[in-house]
Structure 1
């Protein structure tokens, strides 16, 4: 089982227009292959055990999904393997500028945090003017990741994958969940021991109208 299967076997991807999403995407090669394989196999084992019970619930699958997200996040926060290109301010600036450039065009940007090897983002997808179609999540992330990968690779004078192909995405169900997610995003560098207050981290952002979440 590869990492793509792991991501796709979590839960069906729900991408409604106007939906609010929590996204985590990481640099290519930032998690050891042996760890990716172990996590994927453990996830699939636990998922099969849950699905084998006729009385299983969506909440159980959701908790499983969260558990393995935290396992990945723990590895990333250690930042002891793979590239750490986002610790270079010039590269982080490229990503930040792109996040803000697409704000209002593809999504309503709520919050983000850039770490050395991954980023967290919260945004609400836009619909088109007629409200009939819009910017689906994969298209939005493809635009964001493709543009930043090209620009960052140019600055690094390298070629090849910059981001991992797959991103973690979660549809935010309600305002309370959004509050928890925004707090998680803001507190990531604090939790990783990089600063004492999230406000001191240069690459953490929350849109002013969501300030009551901090």
Structure 2
């Protein structure tokens, strides 16, 4: 039987799933391993985010796939709860990526961090901040050099 750590329980404490709400989500690979640095792995995650959009579970505003974690800014659709959407994305990608990397056990760390945007938040600035993550991490000198991101506001 699997038990949540106190930190995982705290992340869920107070989590609300509100249709039409904008959320900034983050989740990481197990032990923060850089499995997403490979193009096929990052593309698999992107494919899964686009699937969520195409089924109207979400409307993606921005995302960046870092080597060991994912940032996703989205507007939640009307049909699914936030936790179900994230668990579906993680489950789908986990099954495919474990085969790709010949990984035993879980691909993702349990849980995810979410932050609901407030009315006074500048959503465009929040999205610019997350897609600039590769620049701050020093893995790209220019955003145009990093392929694993998208935003409804940004173009290279």
TM-score (norm 1): 0.65
> Secondary structure of the residue that 1:103 maps to in structure 2?
helix
Q: Match for residue 112 of structure 1?
A: 63
Distance in 2 (CA, whole Å) between partners of 1:125 and 1:152 is: 25
Stretches of structure 2 lacking an aligned partner (at least 5 in a row): none
Larger Rg: 1
Distance 2:120 2:104 in 1: 41
1:126-145 correspondence runs (5 A): 126-127=77-78, 134-145=79-90
Write the distance in 1 (CA, Å) between the matches of 2:120 and 2:75.
Answer: 12
2:35 aligned partner: 85
2:106 aligned residue: 161
Q: Distance in 2 between matches of 1:28 and 1:3?
A: 15
Runs of 4+ in 1 over 3 A off after TM superposition: none
Determine the structure 2 residue equivalent to 1:189.
134
More helix by share: 1
Greater fraction of residues in strand: 2
The CA deviation string for residues 26-75 of structure 1, in whole angstroms up to 9 with x for no partner, is 00112xxxxxxxxxxxxxxxxxxxxxxxxxxxxxxxxxxxxxxxxxxxxx
1:156 Cα deviation (Å)? 1.7
1:166 CA drift (Å): 1.1
- For residues 93-137 of structure 1, give each alpha carbon's deviation from its aligned partner in whole angstroms, at most 9, with x where no partner exists: 11111111211421001110011100100011111xxxxxx2111
Contact 1:111 1:206 in 2 (8 A): yes
Following superposition of structure 1 onto structure 2, how do residues 1-214 of structure 1 map, counting pairs within 5 Å? 4-9=5-10, 12-30=14-32, 83-105=33-55, 106-127=57-78, 134-174=79-119, 176-207=121-152, 210-211=153-154
Q: How many correspondences in the alignment?
A: 152
Shift of 1:6: 1.8
Which secondary structure does the structure 2 equivalent of 1:29 belong to?
helix
What SS class does the counterpart of residue 9 from structure 1 fall into? helix
